[in-house]
Amino acid sequence: MVNMTDEHNQPCEDDVKPRSRGIYLLPNLFTTGALFSGFYAVVAGMNGKFEAAAIAVFVAMLFDGLDGRVARMTNTSSAFGAEYDSLSDMVSFGVAPALVAFTWALDNTGKIGWFAAFIYVACAALRLARFNTQIGSVDKKYFIGLPSPAAAATVAGLVWACTEFEVVPEGPLSYAVAGMVALCGLLMVSNVLYHSFKEVDFKGKVPFVILAAIVLVVGVISISPPLFLWSLFLVYMLSGPAIWVWRKRRAF
């Protein structure tokens, strides 16, 4: 009987099945959509189309929220998809908001604007790296530090709201924008806890009042999307430090 193994008792090359080198298409299409939206935000910001740039960041958030859910629903999660998603997030929620804010307002503040934009980009990179290394080791109910999509929405929402109401970022306002951009960056790498809302069961039953509240929130946002979306994410950004202070006061 012919032995089909080599001298180390390993299968011959003819018996080894080649590994599949393909990737899952559907979730990565959503990730590509998020990446394209972030890239478009950069290009639109460079061309002075700040409203379109800000909206593109929110569109990137929508795609980013869908890719992971689609991957889990269709059982197409992969290590490649996770890495691709992180690189897309760096462009859409790290580089794009900083460049849009810099082109819109921070360029008027000189080196302070450069520094604020760089702080944001660097903290976004550190935030994503830390998040990837902490997957599965932290409480799913909370994010450690401000999530990068929420930070990007806070910055982009400010640009969108001010553009909608024709607020010109000059003088003290430019420095205030620089401070907010830097603060969003620092909150991303902080140890402040933010609710992740992952414990919400979208498949289960909820009281009727919850659905009514959601309809009310959507109705309010529709009155002025730039103002109310920015206000929503601004409140979320401030909720982390507020909860931290409240817990410290209770500890004493």
Q: pLDDT value at position 8?
A: 47
Going 156 to 161 to 166 to 171, the CA torsion angle's sign is negative
CA separation for the pair 243, 241 (Å, rounded): 5
Place of tokens 């902080």: 190
pLDDT at 11: 46
DSSP bridge pairs for 142: 195
3-state secondary structure of 119: helix
pLDDT recorded at residue 6? 45
Q: What pLDDT does 23 receive? A: 77
Q: How far is CA 223 from CA 95, 148, 229, 232, in A?
A: 30, 26, 11, 14
> Around Cβ 74, how many Cβ atoms within 10 Å?
11
Cβ atoms of 190 and 154 within 8 Å: the answer is no
What is the pLDDT, as a whole number, of residue 1?
Answer: 43
Question: Residue 95, SS3?
Answer: helix
**Beta strand residue intervals within 26-124, DSSP E:** none
Topology of the domain comprising 25-251: Four Helix Bundle (Hemerythrin (Met), subunit A) (1.20.120)
Coil vs helix vs strand at 144: strand
Supply the mean pLDDT for the chain. Answer: 86
CB atoms within 10 A of CB 187: 22
pLDDT given at position 41: 97
Instruction: Please report the beta strands in 65-216, taking only residues with DSSP state E, as ranges in sequence order.
Output: 142-144, 193-195
Pairing of the two strands 193-195 and 142-144 = antiparallel
Question: Residue 165 carries which DSSP code?
Answer: T
Per-residue pLDDT of the chain in tens (252 residues, 90 and over written 9):
444 444 445 444 444 444 556 678 888 999 999 999 999 999 999 999 999 999 999 999 999 989 888 888 888 888 888 899 999 999 999 999 999 999 999 998 989 999 999 999 999 999 999 888 876 666 678 889 999 999 999 999 999 999 999 998 888 999 999 999 999 999 999 999 998 877 666 666 777 787 888 888 888 888 999 999 999 999 999 999 998 888 888 877
